[in-house]
Amino acid sequence: MGAEATADLTLAEPMPVTLGDILTVFPFGNVVSTLELTFADVMAALENGVSLGEEGAGRFPQVSGIRFTWDGSKPAGSRIVRVEVEGVDGTFSEIDPAAVYTVATNDFMRRGGDGYEVLATNAIDPYDFGKPLDEVLEEYIAANSPVAPTVEGRIIRVDAAP
């Protein structure tokens, strides 16, 4: 396995984030959707996300609560190498093939957008009426400012990126 790539996200100076900035990032009026997925469906969703590599437009997964390793040199459908789930104590353990996992995403993807058909067809107890994403982000920034993004190693690519 290759080394994890890291990036420096240090900003030169703090910058204010306006409601206009938030609406530029989230222009479509999507809402938070929640659902449950089996192990197999989590894996299928992650495989879809890396099926086009990092060039996969909106389909490349951004995750929280899990970390995964993928190999872009393998054929699409067999690129996920390892998946770990974060426990309540902050430690990670291998994903459990017998478990059902709670997932939060946006309603576009939950309904199959960007190739995530598994979220539309296999969702257990889907709920598509959460808060709008722009409101969620605005509330997060208000409650956690200043926001200081860091690279957390949740997504690890083990082959040499093209």
126 belongs to a structural domain: yes
User: If you average pLDDT over every residue of the chain, what do you get?
Assistant: 90
Q: For residue 135, what are the domain limits?
A: 19-23+31-157
- What's the pTM value of the predicted model, to 2 decimals? 0.87
Q: What is the pLDDT of residue 148?
A: 85
Q: How many domains does the chain have?
A: 1
Share above pLDDT 90 across residues of the chain, in percent, rounded to a whole number: 78
Residue 6, in any domain of the structure: no
CATH number where 145 lies? 3.90.780.10
Q: Is residue 140 part of a domain?
A: yes
Contact 137, 27 (CB under 8 A): no
Query: In this predicted model, what pLDDT tens digit does every residue of 101-120 receive, in sequence order?
Result: 999 999 999 999 999 999 99
Q: What is the mean pLDDT of residues 15-20?
A: 89
Enumerate residues 6+ apart whose C-beta is below 8 A from 135: none
